[in-house]
Structure 1
């Protein structure tokens, strides 16, 4: 997993050609002028989901992972905590192969993500997005899904 500031995003372009496409999309898109929704970048191999939601109490958030896709999560506005840990025998709560998500029970380290922060989460990383900091607040983010 990677957690960094958006000014450093380009550093990670050499990891894979698909990841480079997702990074290029984030670096070249004005998210203040784009509607919420899903945007194809390279078919089903690379696509973006622009989202807005209210953060929640930690007990209302789920630790999740993906097998087929790498996530690039970039906070456009607002702030949240994201729980992070490595997949390591955590009890599986729910698995949806078609939707490419699994939910797990387990502990994670909460990291503050604010506007201008991004994370790259690989298939062996678990993440718990949407955790409130001190109070519930609105977050706007883009999640770029990159086929692993």
Structure 2
């Protein structure tokens, strides 16, 4: 799990060629004006999902993990808390391997992610995005899915 400012993306873009393509999309796209939706970057190997939503109470946000993809979650506008915990022996409550997600029960440590910051969540990292940071915030975010 990584949390950092987008100015430091080059520290991570060299991890894999696919990761570099994901950061290239983030840094070379006008994300302020881009519409919500799915954007192909490199077929199913790298794609982006642009989202807009209001943050919620922690209990209304799901703890999730992925098996085939790394998440680059970049906050374009707004602020949210993202819960994090390493994958250990948490109880899964729903799994869809075709759509690459598993939902879990469990506690997390909260990370404050503001405009211009990103997180990297690897398959060993469970995360609970979309949690309000004190008050409800309108968030615009891009989640780039990078196939392992």
* TM-score computed with the length of structure 1 as normaliser: 0.98
Pairwise CA RMSD = 0.7
Q: CA deviation at 1:101?
A: 0.5
List per-residue Cα deviations over 1:77-134 (Å, max 9, x = no partner). 0000000111001111110111111011111100001101100100110100000011
Structure 2 unaligned regions, length at least 5: none
Between Structure 1 and Structure 2, which shows a larger proportion of helix residues? 1
List per-residue Cα deviations over 1:35-67 (Å, max 9, x = no partner). 111100000100001100010001101110000
**Correspondence for 1:66:** 66
**Correspondence for 1:38:** 38
Q: CA deviation at 1:33?
A: 2.3
Structure 1 stretches of 4+ moved >2 Å: none
Q: CA deviation at 1:135?
A: 1.4
CA distance in 2, matches of 1:144, 1:10: 16
CA distance in 2, matches of 1:126, 1:106: 9
CA distance in 2, matches of 1:9, 1:88: 28
Within 5 A, what are the aligned runs for 1:9-48? 9-48=9-48
**Correspondence for 1:143:** 143
**Correspondence for 1:6:** 6
**Correspondence for 1:110:** 110
* TM-score computed with the length of structure 2 as normaliser: 0.98
Q: Helix, strand or coil for the counterpart of 1:32? A: coil
CA distance in 2, matches of 1:7, 1:140: 18
Structure 1 unaligned regions, length at least 5: none
Q: Helix, strand or coil for the counterpart of 1:22? A: helix
